[in-house]
Amino acid sequence: MDVVDKSDLIGSTWSDFMEFAGLYRWLINNLSECMSKESQKYGLSFDQFLVMHEIQNANNETTNSALAEKMQVSRSAISRQCRSLRKMAFIAEQSDENDQRIRRVHLTDNGMQVYRHLLFYYLDLYNDLKEEIGEDKVEATIGQSKEIFERMVTINSNRPEAK
C-alpha cells in the first residue's frame, strides 16, 4: 500500500473541500424542496415536472427508454415517475401502431395545462433571480458550476481505484 503525504488536507484545503461538500449537500437537500414548492400543489415533484418537460420537448411523443437516456437516469426510475404521472392523469401511454411492444407517452390535456402553469411559474422565478442578482452573475454561476461538476466527474473517472 502506497503511503501518500496528505498533510495538505489539514488546513485551508480541507476547509475548502468541506465547504464544497457542504454546498453539495445543501443543493441536494434544499434546492429540490424549494423547486418543488409550486409543483407540490399538483402532487408533483420538480423531477416529475422535468419528466413532463422532456415529454413536451419530444413533441409530446416519446418512450420511457428515450426519456431515461435523455435525463441520464435508469429506465426503472423513469418508469416509476411515469407510473405516478399516469395515476395523476398527467400523461398517457399508447402503443406504437407499427410495433405493439413500443409504448409512447404523451401529456394529457390536463397534464399540458399543469405543465404550462409550472413552466411559466419557474420561468418567472428564474427571471426574478436574474433581476435580483444580475443576469451576468446567474449565467456565470451556471457556466462555472457546469465546468466544475463536469471536471469533477472526469477527474474521478480517470483516477486509479483506491487500493
| Residue 56 belongs to domain with CATH number | 1.10.10.10
> Which domain covers residue 113, as residue numbers?
8-157
Alpha helices in the chain (DSSP H): 12-26, 32-39, 46-57, 64-71, 75-87, 109-133, 135-158
Tell me the whole-structure pTM to 2 decimals: 0.79
| 124 domain residue, yes or no | yes
| 153 domain residue, yes or no | yes
Cell 408533483 maps to which residue? 44
For the residues 65-84, what does the mean pLDDT come to? Answer: 94
| 51 domain residue, yes or no | yes
The pLDDT tens digits of the residues spanning 82-114 come to 999 999 999 999 887 887 788 899 999 999 999
Rounded Cα gap, residues 77 and 60, in angstroms: 20
> Could you tell me the three cell numbers for 141?
454561476
| 85 domain residue, yes or no | yes
Q: How many domains does the chain have?
A: 1
Average of per-residue pLDDT values in the chain: 88
For the residues 27-44, what does the mean pLDDT come to? Answer: 88
Burial of 85 per CB tally in 10 Å (0-12, 13-18, 19+): buried
